[in-house]
Amino acid sequence: MPPWPFSRRREEGAGNAVDRAPLLALLEADLRQRVRRRMSRRKIAAGKPLYRPGDVADALYLIESGRLRVFMHQRGGAELVLQFLGAGEVVGEAAFMAEAPYVTGAVAIEDATVLALARRDFDDLLGTHEALLHYLATVIAARQERANARLAAESAPEETLALRGYVTAVYSPRGGAGVTTLALNLAIALAERHPDDAVLLDLDVLFGHTLLNLRLEARGVLAQVGPNTLRGLDRGGLEHYLIKHASSLRIFPAATTPEEGQSITDAHVRSGLTALRRNFGHIVIDLPHAFNEVTLAGLDLADRVLVVATPESTVLHDLAEVRRIFGDVLRVPPERVSYALNHPQAYAGLTLSEFTSATATPWIEIGHGGDAPTAAALRGDSLIGTRPSNPVSRAAAVLADEITREAREVATLAGRAV
């Protein structure tokens, strides 16, 4: 999976994605300067190749900006996409290190610039640099493994291929952080981009507010369907339980009462998500705050987890705990988790950089949107529809674009049609 796009965006903005790229960051300062001086910049327009299969690999490339698609030709000539690479990542390393012609090709999918280090300069400056050689060996091994998985996916059973939906779970350890607001607006933004193909699964079973926010009434809820029935539902069967919003978003409420909510199990969530993933391209989950079995199942099955925090030091403390549980207990891969600092209140509180440095990970920030998000919820309006320039709407739109791209890339890599 590519690194979360927001980190790339921020780094590009700061103009230092290249310096922070492991290829250069691993080097001592003076050596890094010398390597940079020998690197030459190449611009590649969208759609143009950096290299083709069979070309001689006479340089190592580091992507400075833009995005590249790496592919190989299958028997019969069809293109098999192996990966997408962006700023700060090396490309063409396997053939370069093997001193062999490229087996793969690399094409810019948007205007890109790469920094090229010619073989003689590499040999001269880096040929015996242990940490650097170790890094390249690790990259080659990891990418080889991904390529193998990609090839295996080509022959995956239909049933797996059919699970096309991309699941984004929104979570916060604390109440009132803006989980429902973000999940709902993100889901609406996705529904606008993918008409009739986005669904919001409201798993906040005790205090589910999504329906309330849109003044919609539940027809059927997750708690009322047995897991086995749920798993087998087709689109028509699912529609019976889904509520349609004006944006084309479908909402699947978990329960109508707290008691009913408590009867929801891990099996409900797993079966529900299986049915939804088979029938929708995008699923957004509004997760409860507690680490109960419902939350754990949602986190386990999500392709992307968005953790929402508010700017308080107590939250920073909770986050350390959340990250420990994600890592040590749930084993959620860190690259699947992204972080948003939200401002439901007007006060500034802790800064974005305090969160970034305390967690050693990039964050996005969602500004305070005044009364509009709460007013929209009270009126039953969609914020993104009525106030597109509100900070919450803008954040939802950016997130929806990034998730759209990420889902497309993941689907391509999994061998699913997009």
Round to whole Å and give the CA distance between 324 and 319: 8
248: left (phi over 0), alpha (psi -120 to 50) or beta: left
Per CB under 6 A, the list member of 65, 104, 180, 295 interacting with ligand ATP is: 180
What track of x and - describes contact with ligand ATP for positions 274 through 293 (by CB under 6 A)?
A: ---------------x----
Q: Which pair of tokens denotes residue 198?
A: 């986005």
Per CB under 6 A, the list member of 112, 177, 299, 341 interacting with ligand ATP is: 177
What track of x and - describes contact with Mg ion for positions 162 through 181 (by CB under 5 A)?
A: -----------------xx-
Binding span for ligand ATP by CB under 6 A among 116-124, 140-148, 149-157, 170-178: 170-178
Residue 153 — φ and ψ, nearest 5°? -65, -30
CB nearer to ligand ATP: give 88 or 178.
178
What track of x and - describes contact with ligand ATP for positions 387 through 416 (by CB under 6 A)?
A: ----xx------------------------
Q: Which pair of tokens denotes residue 400?
A: 């929806």
Which residues fall within 8 angstroms of residue 324, CB to CB, at 6 or more apart?
none
Per CB under 6 A, the list member of 164, 277, 323, 343 interacting with ligand ATP is: 343
CB nearer to Mg ion: give 175 or 349.
175
Instruction: Give the CA radius of gyration of the chain.
Output: 23
Hey, which residues between 351 and 380 contact ligand ATP (CB under 6 A)? 366, 368-369, 373-374, 377
Binding span for ligand ATP by CB under 6 A among 118-126, 202-210, 272-280, 396-404: 202-210
DSSP 365-416: EE---TTHHHHHHHHT--HHHH-TTSHHHHHHHHHHHHHHHHHHHHHHHTT-
Residue 210 binds to Mg ion (criterion: CB under 5 A):
no
What track of x and - describes contact with ligand ATP for positions 121 through 160 (by CB under 6 A)?
A: ----------------------------------------
CB nearer to Mg ion: give 89 or 204.
204
CB 105 within 8 A of CB 77: no
Residue 204 — φ and ψ, nearest 5°? -75, 75
Round to whole Å and give the CA distance between 157 and 305: 27
Interacting partner of 2 out of ligand ATP, Mg ion, none (Cβ under 5 to 8 A depending on kind) = none
Beta-bridge mates of residue 90: 62
Per CB under 6 A, the list member of 14, 46, 207, 329 interacting with ligand ATP is: 207
Binding span for ligand ATP by CB under 6 A among 10-18, 30-38, 176-184, 355-363: 176-184
Opening angle at CA 329, ends 315 and 307, nearest 5: 35
Interacting partner of 210 out of ligand ATP, Mg ion, none (Cβ under 5 to 8 A depending on kind) = none
CB 31 within 8 A of CB 125: yes
Closest to 242 measured CA to CA, from 297, 295, 187: 187
CB nearer to ligand ATP: give 255 or 392.
392
Residue 344 binds to ligand ATP (criterion: CB under 6 A):
yes
| For the chain, the helix, strand and coil percentages under 3-state DSSP, each to the nearest 5 | 45, 20, 35
Count Cβ atoms below 10 Å from residue 98 Cβ, excluding itself.
Answer: 12
Closest to 400 measured CA to CA, from 209, 214, 195: 195
CB nearer to ligand ATP: give 53 or 344.
344
What residues make contact with ligand ATP under the rule CB under 6 A?
A: 172, 175-181, 204, 207, 209, 289, 342-344, 366, 368-369, 373-374, 377, 391-392
What residues make contact with Mg ion under the rule CB under 5 A?
A: 179-180, 204, 209
